[in-house]
Amino acid sequence: MRRSPELVHLSREHHAALVQAKRIKGSNSSTDVLEVWPSVAFLTELEAHFDAEETMFAQYLVHLPRLAGQFSDDHKTLRALMRQLHAGKLAALLAFGERLEAHVRFEERELFPALEGLIHPA
């Protein structure tokens, strides 16, 4: 799907997030956890991505209360999981991978199309 110019760079960043999430979700007991553990750089970039989205979308999300609620809840949950990962908590890894994948899919399939309708009304 083609994205409006305002959202293209965010969609590109979503690709890296999906790759990371799939690696985590595809790991098993024989996988070295360090092979799939998100790097500090990845987590820092993801935090910056969240900040950019929140700033860019603020004026539009007031018109999309259901989507705004999920968007906000997802970011809050992912940030909490990221703090646990920074603290080295292994139990957070799979939950992070699952939630990250679901969140990216939500944004690409539901939120971004709705935002594009507001950014570029027909």
Give 56-90 pLDDT, tens digit per residue. Answer: 999 999 999 999 999 999 999 999 999 999 999 99
Tokens of 6: 């305002």
Tokens of 76: 């809050």
pTM, to two decimals: 0.92
Q: How many Cα atoms occupy the beta-carbon half-sphere of 92 within 13 Å?
A: 15
pLDDT digits (tens, 9 = 90+) for 15-54: 999 999 999 998 876 667 888 999 999 999 999 999 999 9
DSSP annotation string for 30-51:
TS-HHHHSPPHHHHHHHHHHHH
In the prediction, which pLDDT does 30 show?
65
**Residue 26: which residues within 8 A CB-CB, separation 6 or more?**
36
Nearest to 45 by CA among 16, 74, 5, 7: 16
Q: How far apart are CA 33 and CA 65, in angstroms?
A: 38
In the prediction, which pLDDT does 6 show?
87
